[in-house]
Amino acid sequence: MADGPFLDLRHLKMIQAIAKHGRVTDAAEALGVTPSALSHRIKEAERRLDLVLFTRMHKRLRMTPAAEYLAEVAERILSELDRAERDVRRMDRGVEHVVRIGVEAYNSYHWLPGFNTYLRAHLPGVELQVMANVTRDPVRALTNRHVDIIVTSGNAQPMGTCQLPLFSDELLFIVPPDHPLADKPFVDGADIEGEEFITTTLTPEPDREFARLFRPSESYPRWTATVELPEAIVELVAAGQGSSVLAGWAVRPAIKAGRIVGTRVGKEGIEIPWQALIRSEDKDAGPTIEVGQALADWTTHNGGFG
């Protein structure tokens, strides 16, 4: 039987590393230990728990359901410890609270300096930390406590969250400046039909261009690439390698610089609401709700993210 019910931090870091790398040699290198030392640590953890965590498949380790569960727990615990260490260091600089923020889909932060200045004036004891690795699954990052506030589009309010409306922003069809459609006040389905089109996902969303322009007009562009990073899409469009539809606030710096042109999608346009989501437990008091309300006030005053 196991001689103790608890795993220590070494075991949690081991499980996290194996979940990320899959191979003992790679996980050991990431942890700065030898493969034999890591193998011994695996056996020790399995002996303490009295169960199997990993099975070997060729040269890789396959996680059992128990190991997968522990990997999720380890990720939360180690993230919280890392945050606590950072917070303690910041206390020496007079920072009372750190609030972590991330944005759905986009890594465009041209708005951040302006909001940061506003935040320092209104909440001087709070420091904002941008989490750039939450774009793919922001709600999970929020519920797993990797981030405190996520800026997301649409009206959905996932269970366990509180919604703070921020602003509405128009989707824009983007092309290079010399494109034949660059001078049009808006584009319709017939304009876009057959256009080389770059998208972040091939999954149609109910309030976006597929459902509100392509499908009703039965006119579709020619999908040429799926690129998950909107910033990379902007570069491809600017280079004349396709067109796309993206959030207006995220592409306006490139438009202002003259690198691309943004055109309304459909005669009436497509407005998308943006909101800040926080955990329900933070909605009544504390630095998270204070930062969320400050963001709502700032975006209202500035008409969005600019």
Task: Dump the DSSP string for 212-223.
Answer: IIIHHHT---EE
Q: Is the pLDDT of residue 265 over 70?
A: yes
- Distance CA(304)–CA(200), nearest Å, equals 22
Q: Which parts of 124-199 fold into alpha helices (H)?
A: 138-143, 189-192
Give the 3-state secondary structure of residue 233. helix
Find the mean pLDDT for residues 58-68.
85
Number of Cβ atoms within 10 Å of the Cβ of 6: 8
pLDDT band at 109 (very low <50, low <70, confident <90, very high): very high
Amino acid (1-letter code) at residue 101: I
Q: Is the pLDDT of residue 57 over 70?
A: yes
| Whole-number pLDDT of residue 245 | 95
| Distance (Å) of CA 12 to CA 30, 56, 69, 77 | 14, 19, 11, 9
Q: Is the pLDDT of residue 20 over 80?
A: yes
pLDDT band at 1 (very low <50, low <70, confident <90, very high): very low
CA 176 to chain centre: 27
Residue 267 CB burial class (10 angstroms; 0-12, 13-18, ≥19): exposed
pLDDT band at 121 (very low <50, low <70, confident <90, very high): very high
Q: Say which range, 80-84, 104-108, 146-150, 255-259, has the weakest mean pLDDT.
A: 80-84
Name the one residue in this structure whose structure tokens are 């004891």: 125
Q: Say which range, 29-33, 87-91, 230-234, 295-299, has the weakest mean pLDDT.
A: 87-91
Q: Which domains does the chain have, with CATH numbers?
A: 9-74 (1.10.10.10), 97-306 (3.40.190.290)
* Percent of the chain's residues with pLDDT above 70: 96
Q: Is the pLDDT of residue 2 over 50?
A: no
Strand runs (DSSP E) across the chain, as ranges? 54-57, 60-63, 97-103, 126-130, 149-153, 161-175, 186-187, 196-199, 222-226, 244-247, 261-265, 271-279
Give the 3-state secondary structure of residue 57. strand
Q: Are 38 and 14 in contact (CB under 8 A)?
A: yes
pLDDT tens for 177-228 read 999 999 999 999 899 999 999 998 877 777 788 888 888 888 889 988 889 8
pTM: 0.70
